[in-house]
Each structure stands twice: as structure tokens, then as C-alpha cells.
Structure 1
């Protein structure tokens, strides 16, 4: 578990049970996979459901408030009067912070006094992975430095913002023979001067000349996968969307997204003498009124 349950629901830590229930119902309706077809909706629904399951139960919430992400790993007979250990915070440059608990300090007194409990698994941890649109489209290998560790990560092609990449066994160290937790890298796709993302669809502006928009033309367009050709339909005005099927973000588990080229009619800033004459001639013979009904 890597997400703070209060943040998952968007409620303060002092929220009442009634408020938590109200917020959960609203979010559950919004992200239920039966009504939300976004590829990340199911993961979001599971996240808020897990958060509600814990925070709506008085005893579970109490343990979560006390131990945080590791409340399920604390022995049921943990002595609350035992000396408390410390929380160690670590972070990696450009990838956000995460927590790791020194379990030997936290539980050492318990084990020494009676040997109660068994191995304590390490905590799952979370960090951010910043990617450009092109890197998210292509995927590939990246080397990350997080704290005192250097990790080689395989990024699958077509990852989307908010998607989590799991690195098994790379989380917090376990105690008393417990296995290490997992590290989850949360993908954050940086804004791009050309491309905009809507789920797996890619939106890009397509500058065209007035005659290309009026008469139709086939023009080149750059996509994250390289140059493509798009057919501008005759009579296209600015704002018209031209779809290139399957040219959006790849999807290893299903249908790829589409690329939408948004027509943007451009005119010369300083037309030459002959260009001005042709535009004046067109203005004289045309009865087209762009503001008419």
C-alpha cells in the first residue's frame, strides 16, 4: 500500500465517519469501471475502496492513524506502552519522497521482551517517475537514483499519467527475516509544447494555409512515433479535428489511442505584393461571409 488513505479520498484526517462515507459514495459512482471507461478508473476505484474499508472501521482507522502504511504489518499483540522508534525519511532527486520505518527500533523492544510475533515484511514505497510524452510513448530503459540506490527500470511503451510501475523487492527492508517491500514508481508525464494528452488520445495543432483549408490537401504532421501524413478535408476551418486512428499512445493490453490533428488556419504576417493582389481579388469575387448564419 503506497497511497495515503486520507489523500485517496480527499478528506482531512479529522473527517467524520459520515463525511468519509459521503465522499466515498461520490467517488465510487465516478470511478466505477462499469461507468468509467478510462484505463486508470479501475485502479482508482480499488484505491478509494481500500481507503474507505479502513477509514470507515473505527479500530482499523485507529491503527492506521498510529502506524500509517504499515498498520497491517504490526503484530496484533503489539505493546502500545513500549518505547517508540523513529521514522526515517528519505528521498531521491526529482522523484519525490517516501517513508521507510526502522522496524528494529520500532519493534525491537517487543521482540526482546517476549519474542512475540514473526518476521515483519518491509513497507511498500512510492516515488515519482517523470517522463516526456515521447518517452512515455516509446517506453524503454531508464536508470534512476533514489536515495543511495541506482535502479535500472524498464518502462513499458504507452504508460499514462498516474500509472504505477512496480519494482518487486525494491521497497523498505524487512525485519527479523521479513521480505523487502515493493517500490512503486508513479508516472508523471510532463507538459509538452506540441502534444496534449486526453487519456490515450494525443492532441496536436495542425497549422495549414488558407488555400489548404479551402481546397483540401495532404500535409505532414509530427507525432511521437515519427512523421505521418494527414488529409485535410476541403472546407476545413480552424478547430476541426482530423483523426488518425491508432496513432495515439500505445496500449499493450488493448486498443491504442488515436491522434487528433486540430486544424489551425494560418495567414502570412507580411504578404508580398502579388499575394496581396490575389487576396484582394478573392475578397472582391467571393460572397463568403464567415460571420453569417
Structure 2
């Protein structure tokens, strides 16, 4: 975690309380991101800065591990539980300004008395805070957080697959120092005080404990000439365009994972992943049921009675659909293999539902012909309501 983050109130940036749920944080971020996006506010520097701040806040608070470390670190720093001089001897820290109490168990703070103490103690917290904490955590690079964004596709784009550009702002490797944090032409050097561990071990009486190295701030390395663009962090908030290939058949609300396209890791650590939530617009003609395409085909009464063949649209052209003679209104006809493409290379079916279109007005010839047909229908004994409702 970047130490500068401790001075920022990410909850305030998103307009949520510190007890907000993950869903509340996501909803707040999405609303702000839509309102502040550079594409919606061209030339507005203030909106762009707010957009970057909101993106940074979401990157931390949407990551369960980072949010936990951020909350704990802010609580400890606010209470004065530790600082440059480390912990004062004589016992544990009593929250609320009461100083240190002899009743406090040091094991609760450090998770163990040695430099490589157990998980869950202050050593682990500082390991996350300064990326080089005590024990095992000190040698692991800090992976970047996952990033979420959204895109909206047309119905046919989602069904057939499409390549879309996504413009987004998120923490990325500094393009000047390539993520090292050092000025181009220079390199970080191993901290001589802690020998690159990021931790200094001390003994006080019967207790031994570790604390972050003051010289390198727990990173294990010292940058004599920091990169002027990222101030030594190796990370910049920058706007970039990513080309995303959306596979055929994607559904509304589906998430696509792009490995390594999320937030950059600190000083060259692996980047997180980018998750793109796809929203699909409705189509005027097609609907969808699973991998099957659906459509409603308007037909005349005579076409249902006599039968016909009708040309209907598909995702890749048109196809003739045979309507058998005597087809009932509302019947669904199936055209195999002309639906939504599947992952295995096959496709779903096209489901065509016939629906009679009733003319609102007829000319004299059509009216007379229809009356003659109605008389002939009755003479032939056809009763559409035979057996209906007890008749």
C-alpha cells in the first residue's frame, strides 16, 4: 500500500460511510464514474481529477484485503499507536489516548515476539502497508488490485461477438520508470540498514519484536533519485484505451476477465485483472432464450390456413421458414442451427412464433369475399367455439 493513501479519505471520495457494504461501494463508484468520465466531460480538468481520485478510491475499497489494511492502518495512525520511534517500552497501547497499559498482551500486537512472528499481527499489517513487512510477507511482491468497468453492446454485437475499445483511468505502471520508481538511468539500491528485509528487529527486556525500517519505510530498497513523474511509487493514474474482444454469445450482465489488465503492482509486482461487465441492449426484432434466438412472425389468416413459406431474418442473412397448412395462431416453428453461437462452435436454434395480423380496414371486394368465406365456413360445419366454456 502506498503510504500517501493514509492521508486520503477514500470513503469521502465515494460519498459512502466507512461501514458501507461492497455493493454500496460498487454502486457509488459506478454512478460517479459515469458522471465524471472524461468522455462525458471533455476539457474539464476538475472532472478528470475527480475521476482519477474516485478510481483510486475504488481500487482500494473494492479489494477486501486492501480495504482491511487501509482501515486498520488509518485507525492505528490516527490513534498514534506507532510512529518513527516505534513502540514505547512498558506494555501495550491503550486506545483512546490512555497510553500503554501493562495489561496489554504484546503477542496480540505482533502476532509473535520474533521478527518472523505469526500471521495476523502488526508485522503482517505493516507488511501490507509498506509492502515489505516482517517475516514471510517481506519477500512477496504486492499484486495490483483487480479493476472493474462496464460496456454496453447492441443485441446483435453481443450475439455475434465484437471487438470494442474501452477507455478507462486506473493505476498503471509508470511509463517513465517502467514501474521501478527510480529515475531513468538509475536503479533502487538495497537498504543497508535492514539489508533489504524492510524490517528492523529490536529487543526490549524479555521481548523481541520487529518494526518497519525507518530508512526505507519498510520497502527494503532505497531510491536515491526518484522518478519525477510517479514520485518513486512506480505507479501512475493514467487514462488508457484497451481493446477487448467480446466472444460471441455473451449474455447481459456477464463478466469478461482480462488477465493482467488491472491495477499495476507496486514497483514491478504483477498487475491485477480487469473485469468487464457487459450490458446488452434490446433488439427490435430478436429476443433470446438461452442460446436460442426468438422472433414473432406476422402472418395473415389465409397464410395459416393454406400454408406458405416466409423469408425471416437471422444473425447472418435470411432463411425461408415453411408454415404448414392449418398452422394455429401462436405456434412456434423451429429452425435448427440459426440461433446464438456457442463456445463449442455450434449454434442454438431460431424459434419463430407466428401471429395473425388482423387488417384494420378492407375494401369492398375483400369484404364481400370474406363474407362469402364465412358463409361457406358455417355451411361446412366449422365452429371455432365448439366445446368451449361448456358450449
Band of TM-score, shorter chain: 0.5 to 0.7
Structure 2: how far apart are the matches of 1:184 and 1:111?
25
Q: Aligned residue pairs: how many?
A: 208
2:232 pairs with 1:210? no
2:308 pairs with 1:286? no
Q: Which has the larger radius of gyration?
A: 2
Assess if the C-alpha contact under 8 Å between 1:73 and 1:121 holds in 2: no
- Report the alpha carbon displacement of residue 239 of structure 1 after superposing the two structures with TM: 1.3
1:260 to 346, 351, 357: 351
Counterpart of 1:189 in structure 2 is 280
Counterpart of 2:102 in structure 1 is none
- Normalized against structure 2, the TM-score is what? 0.47
- Report the alpha carbon displacement of residue 217 of structure 1 after superposing the two structures with TM: 0.6
Structure 1: how far apart are the matches of 2:132 and 2:248?
49
Q: Which moved more, 1:245-254 or 1:198-207?
A: 245-254
1:275 to 366, 370, 376: 366
- Normalized against structure 1, the TM-score is what? 0.62
Runs of 4+ in 1 over 6 A off after TM superposition: 72-75, 112-115
The alignment partner of 1:172 has SS state of coil
Distance 1:113 1:179, change over 3 A: closer
Counterpart of 1:133 in structure 2 is 155
1:251 to 331, 342, 345: 342
Assess if the C-alpha contact under 8 Å between 1:137 and 1:225 holds in 2: no
Deviations 1:199-225 (A, max 9, x none): 111110000111111111100111222
Structure 2: how far apart are the matches of 1:172 and 1:159?
25
2:249 pairs with 1:227? no
Structure 2: how far apart are the matches of 1:212 and 1:137?
31
The alignment partner of 1:186 has SS state of strand
Counterpart of 2:168 in structure 1 is 146
- Report the alpha carbon displacement of residue 238 of structure 1 after superposing the two structures with TM: 2.1
2:163 pairs with 1:69? no
- Report the alpha carbon displacement of residue 170 of structure 1 after superposing the two structures with TM: 1.3
Q: Could you list the runs of 5+ residues in structure 2 that have no partner in the other structure?
A: 1-19, 22-59, 79-125, 170-238
Q: Could you list the runs of 5+ residues in structure 1 that have no partner in the other structure?
A: 1-11, 14-65, 85-105
- Report the alpha carbon displacement of residue 275 of structure 1 after superposing the two structures with TM: 1.0
- Report the alpha carbon displacement of residue 277 of structure 1 after superposing the two structures with TM: 1.1
